[in-house]
Structure 1
Amino acid sequence: MAISRPRSRGVPLIPLLLLILLAPLIYSVSRLRLSWAPERELGMPPPALPKRPDRLVLGPAAGQGRPDRLQCQGLKAVNKISLSSEPGEHVSFVTVFTTYSSDPAGAGKRSSDVVTVGKHFYSKEERSMAILNTFISFIQVSMPKSNVIILTDPKSKLSINQGKASILPIEGNYSRGNLMLQRIKSYIAFLELKLEEVDRVNCVVFTDSDMAVVEDLGHIFTSYPHWHLALTFRNNKGQPLNSGFVAVRGTRDGISKAIDFFNEVLKAYNLKYMKASRMLGDQLALAWVVKSYLPSAFGKFSRHETFTGEVNGASVLFLPCEVYNWTPPEGAGQFHGMPLDVKVVHFKGSRKRLMLEAWDFYNSTSQLSDMLCLILKSGRTKYDF
């Protein structure tokens, strides 16, 4: 008599095959998740951020072989530039600058924040003052007839010992998170003061303090006589206008039109871009105002050519950033060298050490062209401040 046995259920073939095939992937993902787990879950210290160089790192000079770019042999410029011997325009350079109190717990300590440039040592607070003084020094070399006006918080403990630089306190909120918004308000307050003494006002260039003026800018007021204010543009869809350079003609009409323009920017800033108030709000508001009145301008930003247009009744001169607001890319990326006719170098972000190093190099050589080679060969590195 045959004995019946219970029938065993086999594992379905398709799920079994899937399990076999996916097993290595599941294992790899679990290992990857473990390796990426937050350090606090593993009881390990967070990985150290890559250390930025504390001295200049020289690389190849981009743009070699291009006839419209600076050519360098080492740190010697082949196609040298020289300052004009003709008397320059009397231009007032105006920048907004303030100081912030340091952490009392760190007072009196020599921390890792101290950096060395040449023979100079700078604490974290001293760096910004060194940048400001270098900004003034470059203007004194390239445009010796011009003066610098620093708009600042009346509470700021700021002192400048350079001859043609002066401090003008203007009331406002200069906190870090509000500084870009306050900058526009300070510009308006300054222009309103100047409107009362317009017969004695120079033409004005509002700039960031991390800029080096390396050639006389007076020609923009003489070669292009029919405009009220000037802006610098670049081929950048998100931020096509850079707020670090705005010029105003020193006439009653020019100042009045500039006040109206800045008020429009301020209104757009408050209504649309307060969430970006710390860094980009002013540039976004600037672009919004221009686009509202002159949308055709945006189609010309890729041509790198100077042009004019009307914005809310003001004649605006648009100047290419690659000449009047040039800055090399940080890190990797396309980099076509330095234009031969560059007038202003903008040391944005981590390039601020490079600004101090460039001034230190110029002091040792008295050659602006060679200094530009130093900037060109060092500009792609992210330095320690």
Structure 2
Amino acid sequence: MNPFVGWRRFFVLLCPLVFLLPLLFSVFELHQSSTPADSPKKITKKFDHLVLGPAAGRGLPNRLQCQGVKALNKTPFSTPSRTLNVGHSIAFVTVFTIYNTPNERLSNLVTVVGNASYSKSERSMAILNVFINLIQETMPQSNVIILTDPQSDLSVHQDSVTIYPIKGEYSRDKLMLQRIKSYITFLKTRLAQLSQKLEHTTHYIFTDSDIAVADELGHIFDSYQNFHLALTFRNNKDQPLNSGFIAVRGTAEGILRAKVFLEEVLKVYGSKYMKASQMLGDQLALAWVVKSHPSFNARRFTKAQPFIEDIGRTSVLFLPCATYNWTPPEGAGQFHGMPLDVKVVHFKGSRKRLMLEAWKFFNSFSDISDMLCLVLSSGRTKYDF
């Protein structure tokens, strides 16, 4: 047989394939790219109730163990009767304002708990009230101070709560920047008052209003005698510090050093992070001030152990978020449970509905450990705001 005849037949068969293969690939790619757009989108409905699942951290040591919403190992919470040293007290300070819009009651209803519905401003006030209520449960001897826009129609009728208007720009896109400014203004006024040599010392804990104080916090000032200001940290390279919890020793030196430190944070905020003024700018500025100090070793953030470091002339106590600024899980398996010694739960972002649900549960059963099991088991399954 002539070998050239065999080659000729081979090429006759191959040529159509050469032309058909690109066409086949094009059809395949078109099919792949068009399938998601052409197929009906799955609509996920948000639940109006909690969806409970297995509590993270099951079987791990030093973690809260739950059976449903029942705590199997009670957290070692202090009794509410514990107080600070004689002549000392604690005040919680938060920045809060509400944004009223026309007809918002009609257009922005959100089902929250049972049959209750709230406008956006009513929902914010409900969260603020839970913030205050839990402080009064766990630390009944403390006070709450609310720094707010003088134009804000804010009325809170609870004992041991003070409304403190401070002029500023409280728009949503500037609120984090204004919060630092309000803290500084508040500390300046307190420093001026201390010139009167008052015998009583009030320590201050500046927090977001979406936190739940689960245990007494006075031990911070008793156990660590030499710090001026305390921050909470986590093992996060870009955002190791969370601004939702800042403690300030109420002595003249403590207030002065905290004020100077926050003024430096504000300066860095304004020069480097204004594009992030709506969110995270303050945390980025905090991290820059701390990490840029020549002697600071950022590797200390990798271990959840308290430590003290001098940043300039301010002695800063660093407390682990795992205990003093713990955040509920956003989904199954993302966290290794809740530490047994957790003292502050931070309902960041869209977890705020869970904060209201937790308070409703606590009101019914009056058990902090069981309430934390509810938080831990919730899983945050699309029931949030």
Same fold by TM (over 0.5)?
Answer: yes
> 1: distance between equivalents of 2:74 and 2:384?
30
For residues 55 and 278 of structure 2, what CA distance do their matches in structure 1 show?
34
The alignment of Structure 1 onto Structure 2 pairs a total of residues equal to 366
Distance 1:190 1:340 in 2: 34
Q: Secondary structure at the match of 1:239?
A: coil
Please state whether the residue corresponding to 2:59 is helix, strand or coil. Answer: coil
Q: Could you say if the C-alpha distance between residues 295 and 12 of structure 1 is closer, same or farther in structure 2, counting changes exceeding 3 Å?
A: farther
- Aligned equivalent of 2:7: none
Query: Is contact 1:180-1:278 (8 Å) kept?
Result: yes
The residue that corresponds to 1:87 in the other structure is 82
In the alignment, which residue of structure 1 is the partner of 2:161? 165
User: Where in structure 2 are the equivalents of 1:46-195 lying within 5 Å?
Assistant: 50-81=44-75, 82-84=77-79, 86-89=81-84, 90-102=89-101, 104=102, 106-107=103-104, 109=106, 111=107, 113-118=109-114, 120-195=116-191
Q: 1:357-372 to 2 correspondence within 5 Å? A: 357-372=357-372
Matched, 1:342 2:342: yes
Letter of the 2:178 counterpart: Q
Counterparts in 2 of 1:25-44, with a 5 A limit? 25-35=25-35
Q: Alpha carbons of 1:15 and 1:314: their partners in 2 closer, same or farther (altered >3 Å)?
A: farther
8 Å CA contact 1:326, 1:344 repeated in 2 = yes
> Using a 3 Å threshold, how does the CA distance of structure 1 residues 108 and 146 change in structure 2: closer, same or farther?
closer
What is the Cα deviation at residue 165 of structure 1?
A: 1.0
Q: In 2 relative to 1, CA 266–333 (structure 1 residues): closer, same or farther, beyond 3 Å?
A: farther
What residue identity is the alignment partner of 2:64?
L
Letter in 1 for 2:257: K
1:196-345 equivalences in 2 (<5 Å) = 196-198=192-194, 199=198, 200-293=200-293, 296-345=296-345
Q: Are the counterparts in 1 of residues 149 and 166 from structure 2 also a CA contact under 8 Å?
A: yes
Secondary structure in 1 aligned to 2:296?
A: helix
Q: Which amino acid in structure 2 is aligned with residue 293 of structure 1?
A: H
Greater Cα offset, 144-153 or 325-334: 325-334
The 8 Å contact of residues 293 and 312 in structure 1, kept in 2 or not, is answered as: yes
Gap runs ≥5 in structure 2: 1-10
Rounded to whole Å, the distance in 2 between the matches of 1:235 and 1:190 is 31
Contact 1:350 1:382 in 2 (8 A): no
Identify if the C-alpha distance between structure 1 residues 116 and 194 changes in structure 2 by more than 3 Å, giving closer, same or farther: same
Measured in 1, the distance between the counterparts of 2:15 and 2:297 equals 62
Q: Helix, strand or coil for the counterpart of 2:291?
A: helix
Give the deviation of 1:15 after TM superposition. Answer: 7.8
- Determine the C-alpha separation between the residues in 2 that align with 1:154 and 1:48: 46
Q: Deviations over 1:207-262 (max 9, x none)?
A: 00000001000000001101000000001112100000000000110001011110
Tell me the distance in 2 between the aligned counterparts of 1:341 and 1:165.
27
Distance 2:145 2:310 in 1: 28
The RMSD of aligned alpha carbons is 2.2
Structure 2 counterpart of 1:123, which letter? S
Please tell me whether the aligned partners of residues 64 and 338 of structure 2 are also in contact (alpha carbons under 8 angstroms): yes
Sort the Cα spacing of 1:242 and 1:85 in 2 relative to 1 into closer, same or farther, 3 A.
closer
- For normalisation by structure 2, the TM-score amounts to 0.89
Q: CA–CA distance in 1 between the matches of 2:333 and 2:59?
A: 19
Alpha-carbon distance change, 88 to 120 in structure 1, aligned in 2, over 3 angstroms: farther
Identity %: 60
Which range is displaced more, 58-67 or 330-339?
330-339
Give CA-to-partner distance per residue, 1:302-325, whole Å, 9 cap, x none.
Answer: 110000101111110000000000
